[in-house]
Amino acid sequence: MARRKRTRYVNRDGFARPKPADMSRIVGLGGSLRAASFNSGLLRAAAELTPAGTTLELHGVADIPLYDGDQEEAHGIPAPVAALKDAIAAADGLLIATPEYNASIPGVLKNAIDWLSRPTDDIARVFGGKPVALIGASPGGFGTILAQEAWLPVLRKLGAAPWFGKSLTVARAGALFDKDGNLIDEETRDKLRDFMAEFAAAIG
């Protein structure tokens, strides 16, 4: 009889190991296409600072096409969307790193979530009761607070469970990240470490 393939993951020490039953898994979704994005950098830092016993699997929106109902009718759900839906459905929690555009949600990230909500009768499998944490970074003084607020009606519509245990809005990001978008500010890294520890504890 063929041996069942076991899921493997790479822990922070760089060694691949089978996933233990008590390991929690978070999917991280970054909402920017920019190479040196503050929000992608925030998510990478979150993966480094996620506590032992929890993994943060990083995803972006670059492969997600623009939503088009005609394309959906003709071809169904695009492969990258289906893969991301399955990853979120299998995860214990979702962490969204949202940029803020014009005091609200950036279009590319909303577009991705709209695709992920198709077809409607699959929403409960992907998002139903899913703990969702929001973080974000912007060069302005309020650090995506308005974008994070703007996500709440969307999460409510999807039946997700927004997590309010801690808040992380990273303002004046230009001084906290390097030119490649890596988070270099120790105080912010400490806050992010605390945030991840509490979110991991909440979903664990």
Q: Which residue has the tokens 């999917």?
A: 27
Q: What are phi and psi for residue 14, nearest 5 degrees?
A: 90, 0
115 is an interface residue for ligand FMN by CB under 6 A: no
Helix (H) or strand (E) holding 86: helix 79-90
Rounded to 5°, the CA angle 204-82-144 comes to: 60
92 is an interface residue for ligand FMN by CB under 6 A: no
Cβ proximity to ligand FMN, 84 vs 145, nearer residue? 145
Cβ proximity to ligand FMN, 102 vs 120, nearer residue? 102
Sign of CA dihedral 198, 199, 203, 204: negative
101 is an interface residue for ligand FMN by CB under 6 A: yes
Total chain residues near ligand FMN (CB under 6 A): 13
Q: Is the CB of residue 204 less than 8 Å from the CB of residue 92?
A: yes
DSSP string, 65-79: PPP-HHHHHHH-S-H
DSSP type of residue 84: H
A 10 A CB-CB count for 199 gives: 28
Can you give the length of the chain in residues? Answer: 204
Structure tokens at 63: 């492969």
Among 51, 78, 80, 139, binds ligand FMN (CB under 6 A): 139
We find the least distance from the C-beta atom of residue 99 to ligand FMN, in angstroms, to be 3
We find the least distance from the C-beta atom of residue 100 to ligand FMN, in angstroms, to be 4
78 is an interface residue for ligand FMN by CB under 6 A: no
Cβ proximity to ligand FMN, 106 vs 200, nearer residue? 106
99 is an interface residue for ligand FMN by CB under 6 A: yes
140 is an interface residue for ligand FMN by CB under 6 A: yes
Among 26, 96, 100, 113, binds ligand FMN (CB under 6 A): 100
The site string for ligand FMN over 6-45 (x = CB under 6 A, - otherwise) reads --------------------------x-x--xxx------
184 is an interface residue for ligand FMN by CB under 6 A: no
Q: What are phi and psi for residue 9, nearest 5 degrees?
A: -140, 160
Residues that bind ligand FMN (CB under 6 A): 32, 34, 37-39, 99-103, 138-140
